[in-house]
Amino acid sequence: MLDLGSGGGIDVILSAKRVGPTGTAYGVDMTDEMLALAQQNAREAGVTNVHFLKGVIEQIPLPADTVDVVISNCVINLSTDKATVLTEIARVLKPGGRIGISDVVAEDHLSPDERAARGSYVGCIAGALSKGEYEAGLEGAGFEQISVEFTHQVADGMHGAIVKAVMTSEPAQKGLPVIQPAASAGCC
């Protein structure tokens, strides 16, 4: 499995225990500080089937068709190039691979400017995709069984959400996202 924007590594460490000794859990993060913290946390947790890689989620440092499951918590909304992130997830997933992502998602009626305005006081949400943009982007990247489920409101028309989907088992159908990313965000 692969965690995008793994931070201190907690989700990678928990996943390493779930995939068992024959599986491997990868985390990708762009900051040396977070990678060092994650490695320290993994040592203290006594897990060895983990690898923390330096890189950006817009250019995932793993080969194509190598990952069974991609997870991410509160990171994709921070990217200024979400279309590329979805394409990269599709590239590294094996056919039939799955995603389980926690993210901030906007209701479809909110314009990018309205999302940015809400981000100015809630933080971290200004660049969120809308539900329809997420679904269209995933479909364009070759995902099936797409579900974007709001779990809790974080601002007027903006929600924490669980995003699930399955990569097509037809590799030739891995396509390009068709989303128009909204304005960039701050931090969550």
Comparing CB distances to ligand SAM, the nearer of 76 and 168 is 76
CB of 100 to ligand SAM, least distance (A): 13
Which residues, 6 or more positions from 12, have their beta carbon under 8 angstroms from its beta carbon?
3, 6, 25, 26, 27, 38, 42, 50, 52
Q: At what angle do helices 10-19 and 32-45 cross, to 10 degrees?
A: 40
| Beta carbons of 16 and 49 less than 8 angstroms apart | yes
Written as one letter, the residue type at 95 is P
Comparing CB distances to ligand SAM, the nearer of 2 and 168 is 2
Picking from 65, 61, 59, 50, the residue whose alpha carbon sits closest to that of residue 20 is: 50
CB of 37 to ligand SAM, least distance (A): 9
Comparing CB distances to ligand SAM, the nearer of 125 and 148 is 125
CB of 107 to ligand SAM, least distance (A): 22
Comparing CB distances to ligand SAM, the nearer of 84 and 168 is 84
List, in sequence order, every beta strand (DSSP E) within 86-170. Answer: 93-106, 143-155, 158-167
Which single residue brings its beta carbon nearest to ligand SAM?
7
Which residues would be at the binding site for ligand SAM (CB under 6 A)?
5-8, 10, 28-31, 34, 56-58, 73-75, 78-79, 188
CB of 171 to ligand SAM, least distance (A): 25
